[in-house]
Amino acid sequence: MPVAYTLKEGGALIHVEVSGHVTSQDFYEYLERILNDPGVRSGHSTLFDGRTLVGIELDADHNERVLAMEKAHPHKLVARRVAYVVRNREALIQAMRYESVSHEVEERTGVFTELLQATMWLKS
């Protein structure tokens, strides 16, 4: 599974590991799993660890669909903070695109290249 997650800190932190080649469908399925997971707390933070991501292929309307899902289920899908840890150029561009629209659901989003930086930012 290219998008897997672990709940930490009693559901207050979602640690998402994105690896290999990932598509929009993989992200939509991840959001559905989060939506149906009773352990996810409202107001959680999300750490997207994409350090082993090889490729990313997103639909043209990917961000709009994600935002629509988040707006429909804000208590479950909208994070207090989202930190993206990415190392390849393609993933960096996609993370920055989402960062530019995340204000629509009042998510604070950061894009990082190092896991430690991202973790410290989430905890600040």
Half-sphere exposure of 44 (CA within 13 A, CB side): 27
Question: Do the strands 13-23 and 108-112 form a parallel or antiparallel pair, or are they unpaired?
Answer: unpaired
Residues 66-112: pLDDT tens digits? 999 999 999 999 999 999 999 989 888 999 999 999 999 999 999 99
Q: How many domains does the chain have?
A: 1
Residues 6-34: pLDDT tens digits? 999 999 999 999 999 999 999 999 999 99
Q: Tell me what pLDDT residue 45 has.
A: 97
> 88 is in which domain, residue-wise?
3-123
Q: Are 16 and 4 in contact (CB under 8 A)?
A: yes
What CATH number does the domain containing 100 carry?
A: 3.40.50.10600
With a CB cutoff of 8 Å and minimum separation 6, the contacts of 89 are none
Between CA 35 and CA 57 the distance in angstroms is 23
Residue bearing tokens 């598509």? 23
